[in-house]
Homo-oligomer: A and B are copies of this chain.
Amino acid sequence: MRAWEGVFRFPVEGRSKKPRKTGFTMILDKGLGIEETKDLIKTSSEWIDNIKLSFGTSAFYDEELLKEKNRIIRESGVEVMPGGTFLEVAIWQKAYAQYLERAKKLGFTTIEVSDGTIQIDLKERREIIRKALDAGFKVISEVGKKDPNEKVAVSLMHQEIAADLESGAFKVIVEAREAGKGVGIYDKEGKVKEDEIDGIVSGVKDTDKLIWEAPIKNQQQHLIVRFGVNVSLGNIPPADILALEALRQGLRGDTLKKAYLKNKDWG
């Protein structure tokens, strides 16, 4: 039972339940140990849909340790994937088949397909997604570049998003890196550029398929206010998962205030 069940209604209602299709939360894990992972899972697995082992960090784990970590995550009903950077190295080095085979052996459930750093054309991208699906993985793709000097035209982004979903990707992530500053929909201070979002959503049929990387609280809040309680968010620091959920469901100052002003006589 939830700790406060029956005492009050959540100020913002309608939060999706697991296994959820909208309101997806993806955690960015930079190297939690086994006990930290257990703590995170025990406290918050209901609110986490996917854990990404950031960039190439999974290369530095001992094999048995990583298998154990992935098992703990997987058995709690949370998906786990290596960062897309890692896949890009495999593609570049023509080792994709071995990559998929090892990922399976290590216990990953999902593959992130990105071209944040290396160049991959649309046809190759489609094949990469197909092969991961054939190997039994879920696929999440990512659009956008990591280098702020290398901007992707919004029309190409629309094309990629449509193609990835058609190829079988489950969700498409909009890139913002770990820092969430000076990249994609965020300016140098991490503030949301509303017109960049407008541009992206203008050419996307089903915006529920997008996961917005939003490592910083103000970004999360902005996106929740714009898209609602069940917006999908990624690159959430593990320590912030419950704070994010409080923001979603109106149990934190900013979203609580909106709910309160709308329903002063509620309850």
Contacts and interface: CB of A to CB of B under 8 A. Distances in A.
A46 B66 CA distance: 15
A93 B267 contact: yes
Nearest to A10: B59
B89 A242 contact: no
A227 interface: no
Interface residues of A, number: 78
Tally of this chain's copies: 3
A79 B62 CA distance: 21
Interface in A73-109: 85-86, 88-90, 92-95, 98-99, 102, 106
Given A9-B93, A31-B242, A2 B59 contact: yes
Contact of A252 (B11, B40, B56, B63): B56
A39 B34 contact: yes
Contacts of A36: 33, 35-36, 39
A125 interface: no
Contacts of A43: 31-34, 61, 65
